[in-house]
Homo-oligomer: A and B are copies of this chain.
Amino acid sequence: MISSNPQIEQYLTNNQNSARLLVSCPDQPGIVSTISTLLFEHGANIVESSQYTTDPSEGTFFLRIVFEADDLRNKEEAIRGSFEKVADQFSMKWTLSFLYQLKKTAIFASKDISCLRELLYQWESGDLLTDIALVISNHETGREIVESFGIPFYYIPANKDIRDEVETKQLDLLQEYDIDLIVLARYMQILTPNFVEAYPAQIINIHHSFLPAFIGASPHKRAYDRGVKLIGATSHYVTNDLDEGPIIEQDVIRVDHRNSVKDLKKKGRLIERSVLARGVKWHLEDRLIVHENKTIVFA
């Protein structure tokens, strides 16, 4: 059951007959021709498409297509079947999203709910078109606001000593709710390789960024000591290299000599919440392909 949201209901009504295709494969002549002919034969019309090739000889081919067809829902199975053959032929990795089915998102939060709040806000405003199926947190802070939207809130205390036990509970919930995307909204706990591998390119995290970088403890304090004039945020997919997964989006905000360490953290939060929301939005709109630890962003 989806939490009630009039913006999303209207979107679903308007997009019954729309779908999005993401493809990556070794480049070779004829891919676009084959795919567009296939869609044509199913009576589908391409509304928007973007394609990019790293290198025309021996490079990798990336494609995003938005298409529409009358009575699309009844054609889903047939279209999927046709694509499977083509995908085989060209060694494609691909995802095909029919817009009548919302992606199901789980948000992981902790004590500081600034990012959680922004995601809920943008979801309510119709900017994040997804079913926020549940929120899992190791603090109770967010319960009231989450439940006010009719979204289930699960409090699961977490720390490194009980990591495996905690992740088992979390994974059970993710499976129960059939989750497509996990957003770490300043969750602050490290995930085990076991967890990360269960959701490849499906976990988005946000962290602060600085020029120069301050790796290790107290980065805001060290950025303050260094007298930086910009602080930033990076949203990225989670891999087993901590904070080193494929970058999705980055942005910065100005600071000056009058800003204390606390001010830097406050300004950091302002930019973190918008950078995270943009990353999540692009994932939900099927604009992202991961390739060799980098993202292709069909913005």
Contacts and interface: CB of A to CB of B under 8 A. Distances in A.
Interface of A: 27-30, 32-33, 36-37, 39-40, 43-53, 56, 68, 114, 117, 121, 125-127, 144-145, 148, 209-213, 215, 225-230, 232, 234, 246-252, 256-258, 266, 269-270, 293-297, 299
Given A33-B36, A49-B32, A257-B296, A229 B211 contact: no
Nearest to A17: B56
Nearest to A234: B211
Given A229-B247, A252-B230, A45 B37 contact: no
Contact of A50 (B36, B49, B227): B49
A66 to B, nearest CB: 9
B256 A297 contact: yes
Copies in the complex: 4
Given A209-B212, A230-B251, 15 more contacts: A29-B45, A30-B40, A32-B36, A33-B40, A36-B36, A46-B51, A46-B53, A47-B53, A48-B51, A48-B53, A49-B49, A114-B125, A228-B247, A230-B252, A257-B296
Contact of A210 (B145, B211, B266): B211
22 contacts: A28-B45, A29-B43, A29-B45, A33-B33, A33-B36, A37-B37, A45-B53, A47-B52, A47-B53, A47-B56, A56-B68, A125-B269, A209-B212, A212-B213, A226-B293, A227-B295, A229-B248, A229-B249, A230-B250, A252-B252, A257-B294, A257-B295
